Copies of this chain bind each other. A is one copy, B any other.
Amino acid sequence: MPEGNAPFSQTEYDRRIALTRTAMSEAGLDALFVTDPSNQAWLTGYDGWSFYVHQGVLLRMEGEPMWWGRFMDSMGALRTCWMSEANIFGYADSYVQSTVRHPMQELAARLKDMGLESAKIGVEMENYYYSAKAHQVFVTEMPNATFADVTALVNWQRLIKSHEEIAFIRKAARISERVIETAIDRAAPGVRKNDVVADIMHAGITGVDDIWGDYPAIVPLTPSGLDATAAHLTWNGDPMREGEATFFELSGCYRRYHAPLCRTVFLGTPPKEMLDAEAAQIEGIEAALNAARAGNRTRDIAQALVDVLQKHGIYREGRCGYPIGLSYPPDWGERTASLRVEDETILQPGMTFHFMPALWMDTWGLETTETILITDSGPAEALCNVERKLFVKD
């Protein structure tokens, strides 16, 4: 049997499972069925692009977690998970995208065999890969079980990163610097946007020295001019143009860990209102990082930004950041705490956020962001080292 190639020490996985079981116990669960691919990887090491079919990790209060998925992907689980082969389960291919049977029927039958027929089972109701249908089938097939919505139960355990995880995020940050530098370097009038993105991706996957690049959970977001008033447009084959700002929202990725970073490039001479916004944004970032201290709250970071921007006459709605770390598409955020004025989460050392004070204005967008680490004392540490400014190329 090939041994798993899980990226972390057993001590680290044991830590994660202990944390999760404490939360399970508080929720009164007998078992937890985890569908979020990031949560699966965090608990077991499982890594594969197979989340487009139903799969998950089952954790009970005792014993190893169990990975369950399509049979052909159980081969991948054997290659990537730390558990023994006895805890890897595959279902037949006839369940895949079938109109007459559903994989959750197969899972329910297994759970009954395990004696979980009347168990209290936690599921992640608000997750990309736990469909309305999957839940409906699961509940129907297990009429004696009790289901609890424990969306983000595991995600919350991920909020404070271990030293092993922070080491990975620091590696991702080295790649993030490289990809942002590549974008800034390549941006020029007449250069097709897709050619810039090709170089960005090449730099990101090449990585830095022995830090090889994994795929980020979001593709490069690189809109220019009017397109940059929208937050999430991708690229096309149009040439970049003089007189336009382009923001680059990118992340390096090392073994699924991210360190997102944005910078904006202006080709030509930026208008005064953009330079004014730049100054306000940079002052706001400094104030926010200074507020991002252990013992403060997430809302303090957001309020520090809002106060500075308002002083400069900029009224910004919406959250200005989210926790980051281990992620799979479609999102590199962890979906727990938010950096916004009503969020009450107490900041603790080891938390990592993408602090994201982007400004999307009527006719242009300006994104300058940082991945930050809450430290034992003092302001947050910005993990990437790229000059914090609007890059002007004229």
By a beta-carbon cutoff of 8 Å, the part of chain A in contact with chain B is 2, 47-52, 72-73, 75-76, 78-80, 92-93, 96-97, 123, 125-136, 149, 151, 192, 194-195, 197-199, 201-207, 210, 212-215, 218-219, 221, 226-227, 229-237, 317-319, 322, 329-331, 333, 335, 338, 360
Contact = CB atoms under 8 A, between A and B. Distances in A.
Contact of A201 (B76, B97, B134, B201): B201
A130 B338 CA distance: 22
A99 B99 CA distance: 34
A247 to B, nearest CB: 13
7 contacts: A52-B331, A72-B318, A125-B136, A128-B131, A194-B212, A198-B201, A214-B235
A234 to B, nearest CB: 6
A206 B194 contact: yes
Contacts of A234: 47-49, 214-215
Contacts of A203: 198
A206 B237 CA distance: 9
Contact of A130 (B2, B131, B207, B233): B131
Contacts of A221: 49
Given A127-B131, A230-B72, A197 B192 contact: no
Contacts of A204: 198
Nearest to A72: B231
Given A231-B72, A236-B212, A97 B335 contact: yes
Copies of this subunit? 2
A30 to B, nearest CB: 19
Contact of A76 (B75, B132, B210, B231): B231
Closest 3 CB pairs of A and B: A212-B237, A76-B230, A132-B135
B198 A205 contact: yes
A123 to B, nearest CB: 7
Contacts of A195: 205-206
A207 B237 contact: yes
B205 A215 contact: no
Given A73-B231, A201-B202, 13 more contacts: A50-B232, A52-B330, A96-B319, A97-B333, A97-B335, A125-B136, A126-B132, A126-B134, A128-B128, A192-B212, A214-B235, A215-B234, A329-B330
A233 B96 CA distance: 18
Contact of A318 (B93, B192, B317): B93
B128 A129 contact: yes
Given A128-B128, A132-B130, A219-B49, A76 B202 contact: no
A225 B1 CA distance: 14
Contacts of A128: 52, 128-129, 131
B219 A215 contact: yes
Contacts of A331: 52
Contacts of A48: 230, 232-234
A391 B149 CA distance: 50
B230 A213 contact: no
A210 to B, nearest CB: 7
Contacts of A75: 229-231, 360
